[in-house]
């Protein structure tokens, strides 16, 4: 009688292990989007004034944290540090990231905590670069993407959090 329980237990264990491996595998992964470039990277370097689209305002949580939204015209300055590695700055925040052969790029940075209660933040920009001449990117270059900011403040045993997500476009100056 115990052999029936063993078979069912083994079947459940196999299902759990199999589903765990399936969750770890990339679902619908398009490897062409994450192909690192070396010498053939798009020329994304430059200064890009951002134009934010569809401002819905700040949530009550962000207002409570005294989060200041980035303004239209805030300049994203991008430099290449070698291969596909990038450094950038936005509103005084240092960012690092990568550009891919597809023209996709990702930049992430953490501003210093604010002096008014220790609000911590993380900025993430994802964008797609289009345009630019093949001869070093001297033509018109555009970025289309999303800015997201995650803000938080820990007070005692509780934390306040908010997220800001804003799509943008930018043309290199």
Q: In terms of DSSP bridges, do strands 104-109 and 141-155 run parallel, antiparallel, or are they unpaired?
A: unpaired
Q: Is the pLDDT of residue 26 over 60?
A: no
Top pLDDT among 27 and 116 is at 116
User: What CA–CA distance (Å, rounded) separates 94 from 116?
Assistant: 20
Q: Which domain holds residue 92?
A: 46-171
Structural domains counted in the chain: 1
In a domain, 165, yes or no: yes
pLDDT value, residue 117: 66
pTM: 0.74
In a domain, 34, yes or no: no
CATH number of the domain residue 68 falls in: 2.40.128
In a domain, 31, yes or no: no
In a domain, 33, yes or no: no
User: What CA–CA distance (Å, rounded) separates 130 from 143?
Assistant: 6
Average confidence (pLDDT) over 102-119: 84
pLDDT band at 166 (very low <50, low <70, confident <90, very high): very high
Tell me which of 10-19, 26-35, 95-104 is least confident.
10-19
In a domain, 17, yes or no: no
Q: Are 2 and 9 in contact (CB under 8 A)?
A: no
Q: Is the pLDDT of residue 19 over 60?
A: no
pLDDT band at 13 (very low <50, low <70, confident <90, very high): very low
């905590």: which residue's tokens? Answer: 113
In a domain, 29, yes or no: no
In a domain, 89, yes or no: yes
Picking from 95, 89, 59, 91, the residue whose alpha carbon sits closest to that of residue 73 is 91
In a domain, 135, yes or no: yes
């933040």: which residue's tokens? Answer: 121
Picking from 88, 91, 83, 159, the residue whose alpha carbon sits closest to that of residue 119 is 159
pLDDT value, residue 29: 40
């Amino acid at each position: 009688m115990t052999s029936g329980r063993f078979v069912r237990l083994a079947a459940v264990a196999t299902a759990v292990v199999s589903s765990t491996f399936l969750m770890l595998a990339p679902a619908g992964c398009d490897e062409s989007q994450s192909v690192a470039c070396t010498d053939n990277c798009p020329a994304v370097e430059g200064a890009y004034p951002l134009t934010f689209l569809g401002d819905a305002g700040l949530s009550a949580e962000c207002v409570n944290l005294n989060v200041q939204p980035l303004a239209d015209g805030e300049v994203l300055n991008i430099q290449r540090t070698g291969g596909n590695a990038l450094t950038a700055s936005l509103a005084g925040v240092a960012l690092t990231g990568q550009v891919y052969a597809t023209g996709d790029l990702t930049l992430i940075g953490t501003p210093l905590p604010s002096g008014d209660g220790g609000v911590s933040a993380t900025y993430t920009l994802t964008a797609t670069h289009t345009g630019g001449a093949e001869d070093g990117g001297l033509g018109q270059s555009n970025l289309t993407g999303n800015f997201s900011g995650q803000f938080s403040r820990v007070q005692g045993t509780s934390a306040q959090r908010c997220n800001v997500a804003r799509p943008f476009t930018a043309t290199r100056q």
